[in-house]
Amino acid sequence: MFRSQLTQRLLDAFTSAQIEIPEGFAPSVVLASDTRFGDYQSNTAMALGKHLRTNPRALAQTIADHLKVDDLCEKISVDGPGFLNFTISKPALQSHLCDICQSDRFGVPTVTEPRNIVIDFSAPNVAKPMHVGHIRSTFIGDSLARVARFLGHHVTTDNHIGDWGTQFGMILHGWKTLLDHDALAKDPIHELVRVYKIINAAAKDDESLREVCKAELVKLQQGDAENHAIWTECVRLTMIQLDKVYDTLGVTFDYALGESYYNDALGPLVDDLLAKGIASVSEGAVVVFSDGSVKPEEDPFLTRDKDEWKAAPCIVRKSDGGFLYPTTDLATIDYRINEWKADEIWYVVGQPQQLHFRHIIAVTQRRGIDVKLVHVAFGSIQGEDGKMFKTRSGETVGLLEVIDEAIDRARTAAAEKDPSLSGDALEEIARIIGCGAVKYAELSQNRMTDYKFAWDRMLSLQGNTAPYLINAYVRTRAIFRKLGEDFAMPAALQITEDAERGLAMKLAQFAEATHDILIDHRPNTLATYLFELADCYHSFYEACHVLNSTGITRDTRLTLCQATSRVLKQGLNLLGIQTTERM
């Protein structure tokens, strides 16, 4: 918030100094890289000086002379070749602290131009094994939705379940020949996947089996009553089980419109693409080819094969009349724009689907549709050995298994640490710590890196982990329990010690950490911030007595504890992580 205020003042200074800002040039203020000179800095005079061919230091001085920041800064200085440095004043920090303690925005301003954003995440496939990509997508998507909402955007979350695909040919045949009904009742997803895997493996070198499955699929697509009933049941059972997991995780969706929802829109969509000349018929299929409008290196419809560029078309209808994954996604875009007035759609889907989304984005552009489509991609998760990630029981991992195991491990750890815990209280802590640990392990990573899934590390009370941060929160609460009363905002504050100032400054940067997430859809910016905040708090706590101090000093320190408590809780909440009052 200081950053955005200072940026605005900088712009005002340009106006009052009558310096014209060249096109495409945005004056900016950032956190100081070296805090000896100030809290924030601007390199604008240097960049602009070069551009305008004037002495950057003189330009910085002119800007400084016109800056009106008395209410925010105790000092501004021009240093080195033309840096502008800003030191925030204690009164400004104190008033911001009050804001953090009293407002439900925690001192974080909303965006000036709210957008209608649809976030497409999680999206597992019915009756197919879930994979780690669905875990990453669920956590990243949920966090981005929380952040975008908190910042004032209009967010619609949609779980685009894969409930209509060629896997149903195998599932239908498996259901009719292999299904164990008791197992299905106990754990439907597991049983459906078991059946799918068997048929899928057998079909690999059995042409006639493939034909049988295909015939089942065609019957389903043509509306055969029996097959349709089985399909409905598969989706229903899967959704019940998934909803339980989402519930445990505290993840919600405004809609869960699966792929099947768009079936009726696919034919007309393909006709439209043909009519507009965007798609053409090729060997009986309907496809979109390159239109040559961009360089081959940037063209998603071309691929390099040795020295030649070859067509990499997007197929929207197969020669047998079947529609494909891209067709559904294109129809889904129309729906989201018509029904939800989407300005932006964010797809939180793994990096391997990059080409698919480049196709979708390019076709949408060619259709002249004005919407911002973003593929929020991510890398993969490996086991601790760097190989494919497996659970304790040796199975490949889906969301369900990971959450169960995380809660198990957290329960064991919590019961060891505090043997008096039992029953519902233990369960609640195990759920919060277990889910929190797995989510944080994900969200503290740069989403594009492949990371190793290390149970012991993520559940550790030390280091950059959820248990460490939740524990920091618990420690802030412990002070008020000892105090024996709730926090009440004191009439006046006075920051004196460096450790107090350092913590107050860090707390004020919550606003920036939160806004920065959306620059590149990276929740790890916030995770890093929270970890640093907890560190700052520990330094403060070591340097300053809280309950043993008196008067305005005590009031100020209690306010710092309260503000830290609130920011930690809200920050974790934006990552989808709950806190507990004790642990």
372/417 with CB nearer ligand ARG: 372
127/430 with CB nearer ligand ARG: 127
Q: What b-and-e string marks burial along 160-175, b requiring 16 or more CB atoms within 10 Å of the CB?
A: bbbbbbebbbbbbbbb
- What's the number of CA atoms in the CB half-sphere (13 Å) around residue 400? 17
Q: Which helix (H) or strand (E) holds 78?
A: strand 73-79
Cβ 364 to ligand ARG shortest distance, Å: 12
328/553 with CB nearer ligand ARG: 328
Cβ 346 to ligand ARG shortest distance, Å: 10
Structure token digits, residue 34: 């070296």
Cβ 425 to ligand ARG shortest distance, Å: 37
Cβ–Cβ contacts within 10 Å for residue 217, how many?
A: 21
The angle subtended at Cα 162 by Cα 159 and Cα 164, nearest 5°, is: 135
- CA–CA separation, 431 vs 583, rounded Å? 12
119/435 with CB nearer ligand ARG: 119
Cβ–Cβ contacts within 10 Å for residue 484, how many?
A: 6
- CA–CA separation, 263 vs 343, rounded Å? 24
Cβ 160 to ligand ARG shortest distance, Å: 4
Cβ 344 to ligand ARG shortest distance, Å: 14
120/216 with CB nearer ligand ARG: 120
Cβ 255 to ligand ARG shortest distance, Å: 12
359/477 with CB nearer ligand ARG: 359
Cβ 353 to ligand ARG shortest distance, Å: 6
- CA–CA separation, 440 vs 177, rounded Å? 43
Cβ 333 to ligand ARG shortest distance, Å: 9
135/474 with CB nearer ligand ARG: 135
| Distances, alpha carbon 447 to alpha carbons 133, 356, 381, 520, 580, in Å | 11, 19, 10, 10, 27
Residues of this chain that bind ligand ARG (CB under 6 A): 120, 123, 125, 160, 162, 329, 347, 349
The answer to whether residues 101 and 563 touch, using CB atoms and an 8 Å cutoff, is yes
Q: What is the 3-state secondary structure (H, E, C) of 462-474?
A: CCCCHHHHHHHHH
346/510 with CB nearer ligand ARG: 346
Short-list 96, 211, 79, 59, CA closest to 566: 96
160/566 with CB nearer ligand ARG: 160
Helix runs in 67-119, H state only:
90-102
The angle subtended at Cα 559 by Cα 507 and Cα 490, nearest 5°, is: 135
224/243 with CB nearer ligand ARG: 243
Spell out the long-range contacts of 383-390 with Cβ–Cβ below 8 A and sequence spacing 24 or more: 383/452, 383/453, 384/452, 384/453, 384/454, 384/455, 386/452, 389/132, 389/453
Cβ 359 to ligand ARG shortest distance, Å: 11
- What's the number of CA atoms in the CB half-sphere (13 Å) around residue 568? 29
